Amino acid sequence: MRKLLKYLKKYKLESILAPLLKMTEAGFDLLVPLVMAQIIDVGIHNRDTGQILKMGGVLVLLGLVGLAFSLTAQYFSAKAAVGFGTAVRNELFRHINSLSYREIDTIGTSTLITRITSDINQVQSGVNLVLRLFLRSPFIVFGAMVMAFTVNARAAMIFVVTIPLLSVVVFGVLLVSMPLYKKVQRQLDRVLLTTRENLLGARVVRAFNRQPDEITKFDEENDLLVRSQVFVGKVSALMNPATYIIVNAATIVLVWTGAWQVDEGIITQGEVVALVNYMSQILVELVKLANLIITISKSLACANRISAVFDVEGSIVEKNHERIVTEAEKALTAAAPKVEFTNMDFSYAGAKEASLSDISFTAMSGQTIGVIGGTGSGKSTLVNLIPRFYDVTKGTVQIDGTDVRDYPVGQLRDKIGVVPQKAVLFKGTLRENMRWGKADATDEEIYAALDIAQAREFVDSKEQGLDLPIEQGGRNLSGGQRQRLTIARALVRQPEILILDDSASALDFATDAALRKAIRENTKDMTVFLVSQRATTIRNADKILVLDDGQLVGQGTHEELFDTCEVYREICLSQLSEKEVRARG
pLDDT of the residue at 585: 45
Superfamily of the domain at 87-310: ABC transporter type 1, transmembrane domain (1.20.1560.10)
What is the pLDDT at residue 204?
82
**DSSP letter (8 states) at residue 401:** T
pLDDT over 80 (residue 328): no
What pLDDT, on a 0 to 100 scale, did the predictor assign at position 499?
A: 92
Query: Exposure of 115 by Cβ count < 10 A (0-12 exposed, 13-18 middle, 19+ buried)?
Result: buried
Q: Could you report the per-residue pLDDT of 42-87, keeping only the tens digit for each?
A: 778 777 788 888 888 888 998 899 899 989 999 999 999 999 999 9
pLDDT greater than 60 at residue 352: yes
Name the pLDDT band for 543 (thresholds 50, 70, 90). very high
The DSSP symbol for 43 reads I
| pLDDT for 369 | 93
* pLDDT surpassing 90 at residue 395: yes
Q: Which pLDDT does position 582 carry in this prediction?
A: 62
User: Looking at residues 303-328, what average pLDDT do you find?
Assistant: 73
More confident residue, 224 or 294: 224
**180 CB-near residues (< 8 Å, 6+ apart):** 228, 231, 232, 235
**Percent of the chain beyond pLDDT 70?**
95
The alpha helices in 99-152, defined as continuous H runs, are: 101-107, 109-114, 120-129, 136-151
At 329, is the pLDDT very low, low, confident or very high (cuts 50, 70, 90)? low
- Distance, CA of 336 to chain centre: 42
Pair 543, 371: CB distance under 8 Å:
no
CA angle 11, 28, 142 (to 5 degrees): 80
583 pLDDT higher than 60: no
Asked if pLDDT for residue 323 goes beyond 60, the answer is no
Q: Is the pLDDT of residue 345 over 90?
A: yes
Confidence at residue 547, expressed as pLDDT on a 0 to 100 scale: 92
Contacts 24+ apart (CB under 8 A), 156-160: 156/275, 158/250, 158/253, 158/254, 158/257, 159/250, 159/278, 159/279, 159/282
**What is the Cα–Cα distance from 133 to 299, expressed in whole angstroms?**
15
- How far lies 206's CA from each of 210, 212, 423, in Å? 6, 10, 22
DSSP class of residue 465 equals G
Percentage of the chain beyond pLDDT 90 is: 18
pLDDT classification of 525: cutoffs 50, 70, 90? confident
| Range name among 334-348, 375-389, 402-416, 568-582 with the lowest pLDDT average | 568-582
| Model pLDDT for residues 171-226, shown as the tens digit of each residue | 787 778 777 877 887 788 788 788 878 887 887 888 888 888 888 988 998 999 89
What is residue 403's three-state secondary structure?
strand
- What count of other Cβ atoms lies within 10 Å of the Cβ of residue 292? 22
| Mean per-residue pLDDT, 369-383 | 89
Which of 108-117, 123-132, 222-231 has the weakest average pLDDT?
A: 108-117
Single-letter code of the amino acid located at 131: L
Helical segments of 373-461, H only: 379-384, 409-414, 430-434, 443-452, 456-461
pLDDT of residue 269: 83
